[in-house]
Chain A
């Protein structure tokens, strides 16, 4: 190496500086920290630093009974808590051989999909907030409050649901809930149209999102990125279709796929997913069977069969996998939570190479991260 190239590399080193984004920063939606090596406004290296909200969920699983872990599932991804509860409950049901009544499965689908819409609404608002538009956040929260009202009446909590039980759900739905949900579905469709006119078609938004933050399908596969991220890269991967669980086979819905792989594609995937979730909710309400919503005779202290078991669901952010290991005792031997945000964020370092700061933050927002979902 010549002296000249040494000098220039040294100078280049001198010109970059390190920018700490977070743990308290408005764009990181919580306590994610990004260590950005910047050359002016260009990012030469982005290193996410996680763990600022690590809450020992996996260790707690080994410290309490199978049922006592249920409230934890509501606090991993607090925006889409239903799906997480679903995965855990179904994995334990698989291990213990508990059969779930059809009505309970339908209620699980309805509540999970409502929760998915509310989660996407928060993402929608927070993403626009990242892009500097404040008003859509409040419109989205308006709609979200309607869902929360419905779910609160049913489950008793607004956010961190602990509604599913081994063998069903803890409260059966009543007529008020069904009527309210129908009203919500009918009222939400025109709102989606309004969002399209107000936000999606906005020229500034399109300029900020189209062609920005490209993620290829191959990159998604290598990093295990799922959910709207992989669907925004042209791969029609959805756990609800690929590994159909619960009663998702009974419903007619599409998996929205956009091949561009940029922020706009991921944005459109989520907007379209809300419409599809409305379709599922509507069909599930139509088909809702009678019967009990909770299997009778499930013991209070569960001792599932020895072995390890998996259950994967499509959470709002992608594939959520619960792997439980049982040694036949009343306490789990190991609970492994594979969360979508973790894998989705891990590709950020590669995807943000050479981007400018505002674009990188748009990319970060389009990944839809929930930080406790990463740190667990």
Chain B
């Protein structure tokens, strides 16, 4: 159990070493200062403390897709609860971002973990075995963005009709 967010940030730094650069496409590198949110605005450090009053969370973690399960397990050990899983379609950069929100039931801590997957092959491992509550969020993200959560037990549409084969929240979606 951690006693402060700094401790958690240190553990995350160990989990996601800074020297391993994130796989960034040239398009993303060019557009990141325009779109990428706080993490890409500043340094390359994937683990950053953020001002809660400005952003609404404390710790921002940029992970590779294969690190999100380990990140979820670390947060689970430290008593965090799953808040939401969602996607953002960065069509200009050819990428999709999967955003994991966490809150702590006993403290005021908020952690955001984000990972980017290429738009052409949007696949990311599921965290539903760590947090069963992420199951539905991932189903929803799958149906709205077409992001495939590898290993998910039941990746069927949740809110759209059972036979829906469209992904409405993609930016290039036309009804």
| Interface residues of A, Cβ cutoff 8 Å to B | 50-51, 54, 56, 58-59, 62, 91, 94, 217, 220-225, 230, 235, 237, 242-243, 306-312, 319, 321, 323, 325, 327-328, 333-334, 336, 338, 342-343, 346-347, 350, 375-376
Contact = CB atoms under 8 A, between A and B. Distances in A.
A328 B83 CA distance: 26
Interface stretch (B7-15, B20-28, B49-57, B61-69): B49-57
Nearest to A347: B133
B80 to A, nearest CB: 8
Nearest to A243: B108
Given A224-B133, A321-B101, A311 B84 contact: no
Contacts of A333: 35, 88
Contact of B160 (A54, A222, A350): A54
A257 B84 CA distance: 24
B157 interface: yes
A350 B34 contact: no
Contacts of A375: 159
B56 A310 contact: yes
Interface of B: 34-35, 37-38, 41, 52, 54-57, 79-84, 86, 88-89, 99, 101, 103-108, 110, 112, 131-133, 135-137, 144, 157-161, 168-169, 171
A312 B38 CA distance: 19
Given A58-B144, A237-B106, A350-B132, A334 B157 contact: no
B133 A225 contact: yes
18 contacts: A50-B158, A50-B159, A51-B157, A51-B159, A51-B160, A54-B159, A54-B160, A221-B105, A222-B81, A222-B131, A222-B133, A223-B131, A223-B133, A308-B55, A321-B101, A323-B56, A333-B88, A375-B159
A343 B132 CA distance: 10
Given A56-B168, A327-B35, A242 B107 contact: yes
Contacts of A310: 55-57, 101, 110, 112
Highest count of chain A CB atoms <10 Å: which of B57, B105, B131, B169: B105
Contacts of A328: 34
Describe A's contact surface by its main secondary structure. mixed
B105 A237 contact: yes
Contact of A59 (B41, B104, B169): B169
Contacts of B35: 306, 327, 333
B162 to A, nearest CB: 9
B29 to A, nearest CB: 16
Contact of B82 (A56, A62, A224, A243): A224
5 nearest CB pairs, A to B? A310-B56, A223-B133, A51-B159, A338-B84, A221-B81
Contact of B105 (A230, A321, A336): A230
Contacts of A221: 79-81, 105
Contacts, number: 122
Nearest to B168: A59
A307 B32 CA distance: 10
A321 B54 contact: no
Contacts of A230: 105
B105 A235 contact: yes
Contacts of B104: 242
Given A222-B131, A307-B37, A321-B83, 7 more contacts: A224-B83, A308-B37, A308-B55, A310-B55, A338-B83, A342-B137, A347-B133
Nearest to A312: B56
A67 to B, nearest CB: 20
A327 B34 contact: yes
B116 to A, nearest CB: 13
Nearest to B84: A338
A156 to B, nearest CB: 30
Contacts of A347: 132-133
Contacts of A321: 83-84, 101
A237 B103 CA distance: 10
Contacts of B107: 242
B65 to A, nearest CB: 19
Contacts of A222: 81-82, 131-133
Given A50-B159, A222-B131, A224-B82, A242 B108 contact: yes
Highest count of chain B CB atoms <10 Å: which of A51, A59, A235, A333: A51
Contact of B56 (A94, A225, A319): A94
A334 B88 contact: yes
A1 to B, nearest CB: 23
A58 B101 contact: no
A307 B35 CA distance: 6
Nearest to B92: A327
B164 to A, nearest CB: 9
Contacts of B57: 310
Contacts of A312: 56, 103, 110
B62 to A, nearest CB: 13
Nearest to A56: B168
Nearest to A244: B108
Contacts of A59: 168-169
